[in-house]
């Protein structure tokens, strides 16, 4: 009987240790910034764009906007679809400045004969943007609609805990250190000013989409293209040609968002947004942050001009 009790005690301890270990492993799950939905060789690029768009809309996603960010730089063709859903909007707007996650980007990129379909990883972004939701419903919906072959964008990935307080290194911005672009007397005035300036392409910043959200929040997706005589360091194509060098492309980094939050106009700082999407970029050397060291300031200036700030 004594031996039986000892055995049962040992078995119970072993079970508790296994449960604890399993919980620890789950808690320390490492997340990567992007999901590759599918990768195909051959086929028509425009037909693939239409196919992905149709699959998303059939699955209940609302198409907010779409555009071609660049062509003939480091990829042959690229097209980005921006979609959303009511449950995504609800989850995103429940957190402070979580509205940045309300529009979701799906990119179709062609490199040679290969066509890649990819999107930001909902679980990764949910933690990086400090949402109250893990966006598991979005992960499932996207996987069911267009696929989820693998995650990529970081060799080791990051834990949810690290993502929630992420910054690249000392002196670089966190999620709650955005560009403060402008402030107006009303939300309406801020939105109208942005509409006017984006239509005019001020600062080389152009409107891709607009998404109106609850509680006086409006988010604009914008493209950045160097104006004549301007600074190439703010240009989307120039930036991506320097950092998007690996075989799986991170086109779904684009477009950049501007958020009108009440009377304030803000945007995630490039030193946070780029680092969060590309955490393995080296500080120095080829294809590193050093190559684009002038871009955060140039982009901030362009966005401020578009927002009508000082």
Return the domain boundaries, the chain: 30-307
In 3D space, the residue among 16, 188, 218 whose CA is nearest the CA of residue 99 turns out to be 218
- Lowest model confidence (mean pLDDT) among 95-99, 289-293, 302-306: 289-293
Q: What is the predicted pLDDT for the residue at 1?
A: 52
> What pLDDT was estimated at residue 145?
98
> Which residues 6+ apart lie within 8 Å of 225 measured at CB?
201, 204, 206, 235, 236, 237
The contacts found for 242-246 with CB under 8 angstroms, 24 or more apart, are 242/287, 242/291, 242/292, 243/274, 243/278, 243/281, 243/287, 243/291, 243/292, 244/74, 244/75, 245/74, 245/287
pLDDT at residue 25, as a whole number: 43
pTM above 0.95, yes or no: no
* Domain covering 30-307 assigned CATH 3.30.310.70 in the classification: yes
Span 124-167, pLDDT tens digits? 999 999 999 999 999 999 999 999 999 999 999 999 999 999 99
pLDDT tens digits, residue range 27-44? 478 999 999 999 999 899
Compute the distance between CA of residue 110 and CA of residue 73 in angstroms, rounded to an integer: 12
- The percent of residues above 70 in pLDDT, for the chain, comes to 91
């Amino acid at each position: 009987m004594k031996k039986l009790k000892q055995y049962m005690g040992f078995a119970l301890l072993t079970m508790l240790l296994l449960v604890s270990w399993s919980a620890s492993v789950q808690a320390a799950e490492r997340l990567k910034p992007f999901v590759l939905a599918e990768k195909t060789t051959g086929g028509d690029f425009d037909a693939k764009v239409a196919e992905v768009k149709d699959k998303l809309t059939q699955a209940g996603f609302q198409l907010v906007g779409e555009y071609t960010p660049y062509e003939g730089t480091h990829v042959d063709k690229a097209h980005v679809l921006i979609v959303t859903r009511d449950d995504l909007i609800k989850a995103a707007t429940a957190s402070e400045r979580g509205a940045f996650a309300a529009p979701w980007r799906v990119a179709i990129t062609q490199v040679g004969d290969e066509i890649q379909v990819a999107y930001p990883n909902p679980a990764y972004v949910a933690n990086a943007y400090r949402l109250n939701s893990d966006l598991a419903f979005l992960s499932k919906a996207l996987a069911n609609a267009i696929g989820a072959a693998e995650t990529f964008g970081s060799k080791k990935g990051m834990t949810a805990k690290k993502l929630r307080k992420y910054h690249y290194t000392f002196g670089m911005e966190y999620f709650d250190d955005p560009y403060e672009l402008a402030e107006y007397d009303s939300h309406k005035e801020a939105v109208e000013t942005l509409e006017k300036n984006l239509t005019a392409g001020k600062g080389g910043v152009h409107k891709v989409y607009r998404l109106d959200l609850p509680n006086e929040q409006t988010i604009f997706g914008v493209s950045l293209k160097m104006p004549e005589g301007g600074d190439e360091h703010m240009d989307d194509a120039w930036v991506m040609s320097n950092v998007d060098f690996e075989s799986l492309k991170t086109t779904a980094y684009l477009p950049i968002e501007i958020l009108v939050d009440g009377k304030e106009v803000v945007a995630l700082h490039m030193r946070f947004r780029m680092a969060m999407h590309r955490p393995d970029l080296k500080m120095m050397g080829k294809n590193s942050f050093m190559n684009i060291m002038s871009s955060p300031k140039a982009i901030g200036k362009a966005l401020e001009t578009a927002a009508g700030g000082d």
